[in-house]
Amino acid sequence: MGRPLRACISIPALQHNLHRVRALAPGARVWAVVKANAYGHGLLNAMEAFGAADGLALLEFDAAQRLREAGWQRPILMLEGPFEPADVALARRLRLTLALHDPVHLDWLAMHPALGEAERLDVWLKFNSGMNRLGMRAPVLRDAYDALAAAPLAAQAAAPLAAQVRLLAAQVRSVGLLTHFANADVPGGIDQAWPAFVAATQGLAGPRSASNSAAIIDHPATHGDWVRPGVMLYGATPFASRDAAGLGLRPAMRLDSELIAIQTVSAGESVGYGSLFTADAAMRIGVVACGYADGYPRHAPVGTPVIVDGRRVRLAGRVAMDMLMVDLTDAPGARVGSPVQLWGDRLPIDEVAQAAGTIGYELMCALAPRVPVVVERSDG
């Protein structure tokens, strides 16, 4: 068997979470976000689990090609758009949908013209609603829309400009409008962003997409034509103070290991690098086969919860590259070989993340390539 550390990915849990999105946003189509190797869950595992989604969304062009080669035929949205002009040609070949967030992208479209109707692209113009990361301000967005949609500007413009507009309009099949909320997870967090998006796109035809996981849950007025769930699909919460179970979500990843050694220490003895943990009484210390080289956060402090032999115990000492140590006082029956859960169905990943001063997203995405992955296709 080798080293007893493995990540278990539940296809039924992923499917359940997609169904939960459908229940919360019944009138919208769903882009299932699968960037960063599906938040660490495996790109092809996500493709299997999200077969009922209307499209997949990510930003890595090599991953999009893998999805096409694996048989995904529905839309694929490239959330960060093209990174260079050649990506436009690749998008045409792979039938990808591009988010366009900078006017230079229109120039790149014209550099790689469509050779026929089949090569026209579906595109989404991205509006900067306050995050100030990606996206166009309202006047620029509307100019880009006019060019791509061949709006009345084409008829009113001087001949050279009209020809340029017609060239751009011939590159696209459809134009959608999207934005991304910076603060949908906090009260009042969309009070400015949502009206700004509505005003910026007023009178423009085309589908809308604004809702991330937090907005899907808390802001139904923003659902529009397409929603873009991310972390909720994987069973973690987008909120700081509301747990995933209470939102009707199921954890899709378990990180399981075993105790590989037990040390008995006396009062005053220390454990691990830097002697960060000192026993205040005689106790047993369990050694777990998992460390920061596996994706467990090195900065997790003493007291971070771990499940050993079905009992909740606490991290003791600094996380090392390949091992971490736990105080077995509350798991008196634990022995070498006892099962350990670092996060999963018995210990929410968000609770571990909060103890470590981070978010569940980071722990999922940090899962190291050396950790074996087991895919579970039933709940039995």
Query: How does pLDDT run across 112-149, given as a tens digit for each residue?
Result: 777 788 889 999 999 999 999 999 999 999 999 988 88
List C-alpha distances in Å: 126 to 48, 166, 246.
29, 21, 32
Interval 33-54: pLDDT, tens? 999 999 999 999 999 999 999 9
Query: Which domains are seen in the chain, by residue range?
Result: 11-235 (3.20.20.10), 253-376 (2.40.37.10)
The region of weakest confidence among 26-35, 153-162, 257-266 is 153-162
The DSSP H or E segment spanning 173 is strand 172-179
Is residue 154 predicted with pLDDT exceeding 70?
Answer: no
> Which of 14, 5, 84, 2 has the alpha carbon at shortest distance from 44?
14
Residue 153 in this model has a pLDDT that exceeds 50: no
Q: What are phi and psi of 182, to 5 degrees?
A: -80, -30
Let me know: does 233 contact 50? Beta carbons within 8 Å. yes
Chain-centre distance for alpha carbon 111: 32
pLDDT of 254: 98
* More confident of the two residues 118 and 103: 103
Over residues 164-207, the pLDDT tens digits come to 555 676 789 999 999 999 999 999 999 999 999 999 999 999 99
- Rounded to whole angstroms, how far apart are CA atoms 136 and 180? 12
Is the predicted pLDDT of residue 151 greater than 80, yes or no?
no
Please tell me the distance from the alpha carbon of residue 208 to that of residue 224, in angstroms, as a whole number: 5
The pairing of strands 121-127 and 253-265 is unpaired
Average pLDDT over residues 68-76: 98
Q: Specify the range with the lowest mean pLDDT, choosing from 114-128, 260-274, 288-302, 318-332.
A: 114-128
130: left (phi over 0), alpha (psi -120 to 50) or beta: left
| Confidence (pTM) | 0.94
pLDDT value at position 349?
98
Active site residues: 35, 273
Residue 379: per-residue pLDDT: 86
Tens-digit pLDDT profile for residues 214-235: 999 999 999 999 999 999 999 9
Percent of the chain with pLDDT over 90: 88
Position of tokens 């991290």? 315
pLDDT at residue number 160: 45
C-alpha separations of 378 from 364, 367, 373 in Å? 21, 23, 15
| pLDDT, position 159 | 42
CB 269 within 8 Å of CB 279: yes
